A and B are shown apart, each in its own frame.
Chain A
């Protein structure tokens, strides 16, 4: 009883005081006019400028979408006339590509590369003759990326009869994504469960920075490691024929996805209120039962978000696939065959393509598709999953 009385007393003491202070100020010479914020031009300008710059990131997102999509548009409406115009404008630019030294060097050396047999290198060895031929070829009416051409089964952008079938690229991307996620998701989620539920404080201090370290690995380094070490290692273990294949790429990709999945899952697991675990433990469940049947299910939306973002990362990762998958566009379900992904196609071919060519537009179309896909994944993870997680923790669903 005493306790409650005290609280009441406090309230009573406070209230008049508050009113006093409120009444006080005007009498001391402050009028409501003088208390109003003064308008200062510099303040106003600074605020507007800062606001304007803050909108930059939104603008960039929109610009990325507009400009990547814009370059792919000609596929859909290109007529013969528009094409010939483009050829004139690109003639000068073609020379420019050749003059920067990079190309000529590549041409001389590409003959003996390890990935020679996969078709990518043939493309890389575009000589001046080929380029001239390409330009002549462009005037034939068949060179149009029709819908049928885009959904074809063959990706062969550099030939007399170019084929822009995206099917093998999509298949390759999904194959890699599935292999990577099959490896990365369980490992990362279990490791996160260990860190949040079983690890001591000291272990946490080692594990978390270590995973951050893995996140800091540049993807070229991971790709290099896969190319030099993993590929030979797996070839010795499994004894398959093509040294660089979807499996090697998938495992390397998993290394890039693990830190993302781990971090987000770990955040989701630690966000679960302590009352949940305490209630479970109080009911007699052991610590592993609590971890597995209480914490993990409660965090499913967060884990789902983690997997989505991990998938997005794997889907768009370029350097690792470019280096470790062999880059042969073929339709097969064998994980030990070479694959070519969407992102690797852009990375490998964009540098050598003729500006304004159909091939160029198709590569930008692939880019738009990649962008839309990762944007959607992120939006789902952001809105749907987060809302659900919050609701669940608050006990509303």
Chain B
């Protein structure tokens, strides 16, 4: 009996320890990054260009590039994700082969390694689509068949599509069935019901999906390694066929290939801090909106 109790203590202790370990890792990671980055985290840092061979100055072009990419990405991912969610909730029969296949595809899309999206972006968007555009419309001049912000954003859109689909679908399922039935009973067609009842009812879900997708897209680097991110650009991208600087890529390059790691260390920490704060704020907002949706459902 006594031995049993001891065993129980050990096991509960072990499980508790695992939880504490995870929490401790999170706290340590955040505090080390913020501790080392805080002194450089100033308004100038956020709004200035890098100077002195990237050892001084700010990260404005990286922030700008990330924002631009994320916007183009959302324009591509959100409508398609929402429409897929509409299909899954409103049109597809539950447990039919088609909806099962689509769900499987969405889940597969969510687990495909991000570097594969990068390869796909290179092989499909840059070489195939871009190459054909150049050959057919521009008579072979090289414009679209090279890494740029459009291809990077579209690659990222594929990566974030499942995020949008899953959260929009959740919100659409939270719209009560009675509301749809009421709308149909009043003589509205199915399409009118979707436009006037289902979509307005799940607008917060669409927002959550967008925010989560933006947070994911801002943090991923692997897909844009060779589809459009650049190490250093003297000017901001002005068209979609330009390359761009990106926060995550900036961190990667600065920390692995910088001339003088010691000199750029504060900049690296501060950049990491900016990226971390950005994704956290976005995730936190999404969590709050999502919690409100769930409360509404009950």
Binding site for B on A (CB under 8 A): 40, 42-43, 46-47, 50-51, 53-58, 60-61, 63-64, 67-68, 70-71, 92-93, 96, 100-102, 105-106, 108-110, 112-115, 121, 124, 186-188, 190-191, 193-195, 197-199, 207, 209-214, 216-225, 227-229, 255, 258, 262, 286-289, 291-292, 309, 312-313, 315-319, 322-323, 343, 346-347, 350-351, 355, 363-364, 367, 370-371, 374-375, 377-379, 382
Write out the residue numbers on chain A whose beta carbons fall within 8 Å of the beta carbon of B91.
47, 50-51, 54
Q: For chain B, residues 16 to 56, give those with C-beta under 8 angstroms from any C-beta of chain A.
A: 16-19, 21-23, 25-26, 29, 32-33, 53
| Residues on B with beta carbons closer than 8 Å to the beta carbon of A207 | 19, 23
CA distance A318 to B287 in the complex (A): 27
Bound Cα distance from A55 to B116, whole angstroms: 20
Contacts of B32 in A (CB 8 A): 225, 229
A-facing residues in B213-267 (Cβ within 8 Å): 215, 218-222, 225-226, 230-234, 243, 248-249, 251-252, 255-261, 265
B83 contacts A53, C-beta separation under 8 Å: yes
Bound complex: CA A306 to CA B122 (Å): 31
B283 within 8 A of partner (CB): yes
Give every chain B residue within 8 A of A67 (Cβ-Cβ). Answer: 120, 123-124, 128
A191 near B15 with CB under 8 A, answer yes
Instruction: Check A221/B251 contact, CB under 8 A, given A57-B102, A209-B287, A286-B8.
Output: yes
Please determine whether A318 and B21 come into contact, CB atoms closer than 8 angstroms.
Answer: no
CA–CA, A255 to B91, complex, Å?
39
Partner of B279, one of A43, A106, A218: A218
Q: Give the CA-CA distance A31 to B21 in the complex, in Å.
A: 70
Enumerate chain B residues within 8 angstroms of A199, measured Cβ to Cβ: 19
* B87 and A50 form a contact (CB under 8 A): yes
B115 part of interface (Cβ distance < 8 Å)? yes
CA–CA, A378 to B104, complex, Å? 9
Q: List 24 A-B contacts (CB under 8 A).
A: A50-B86, A57-B102, A61-B105, A61-B112, A96-B142, A112-B259, A114-B261, A191-B15, A214-B25, A219-B219, A221-B251, A222-B29, A287-B8, A288-B7, A316-B114, A316-B116, A318-B115, A318-B222, A318-B225, A319-B248, A347-B115, A355-B127, A374-B113, A375-B108
A351, B12: Cα distance in complex, Å:
49
Q: Is the CB of A216 within 8 A of B283?
A: yes
B101 to chain A, nearest CB (A): 6
- Give the A-B contact count at a CB cut-off of 8 A: 294
Q: Choose among B18, B21, B33, B142 the residue that contacts A221 (Cβ–Cβ < 8 A).
A: B33
Contact between chains at A187 and B84 (CB < 8 Å): no
User: CB distance B161 to A57 under 8 Å?
Assistant: yes
The contact string, 1 if C-beta is below 8 Å from chain A, for chain B 50-90, is 00010000000000000000000000000010011011100
| A102 near B22: Cβ-Cβ < 8 Å | no
Given the known inter-chain contacts A57-B105, A190-B18, A313-B111, please indicate yes or no for A364 contacting B123, CB distance below 8 A.
yes
Which listed residue (B12, B22, B122, B221) contacts A187, Cβ 8 A?
A: B22
Question: Is there an interface contact between B252 and A223, defined as CB atoms closer than 8 Å?
Answer: yes
Give chain A residues whose Cβ lies under 8 Å from the Cβ of B119: 68, 71, 346, 350, 363-364, 367
Can you name the residue of chain A whose Cβ is closest to the Cβ of B16? A194
Residue of A nearest to B119 (CB): A367
- Is the CB–CB distance between B221 and A109 below 8 Å? no
Cα of A258 to Cα of B23 in the assembled complex, Å: 12
Residue B4 at the A interface, CB < 8 A?
Answer: yes
B residues less than 8 Å from A108 (CB atoms) = 259
CB nearest to A383 among chain B residues: B104
* Contact partners of A115 in chain B: CB under 8 A: 256
Q: Are B280 and A198 in contact (CB under 8 A)?
A: no
Across the interface, B191 reaches (CB within 8 A) one of A42, A289, A317, namely: A42
Indicate if the CB atoms of A343 and B83 lie closer than 8 Å.
Answer: no
Q: How far is the CA of A193 from the CA of B220 in the complex (A)?
A: 30
Bound CA span A173–B103, Å: 29
Given known contacts A220-B221, A319-B252, A323-B252, A186 and B18 CB-to-CB distance under 8 angstroms: yes
| Residues of chain B lying within 8 A (CB to CB) of residue A219 | 114, 219-222
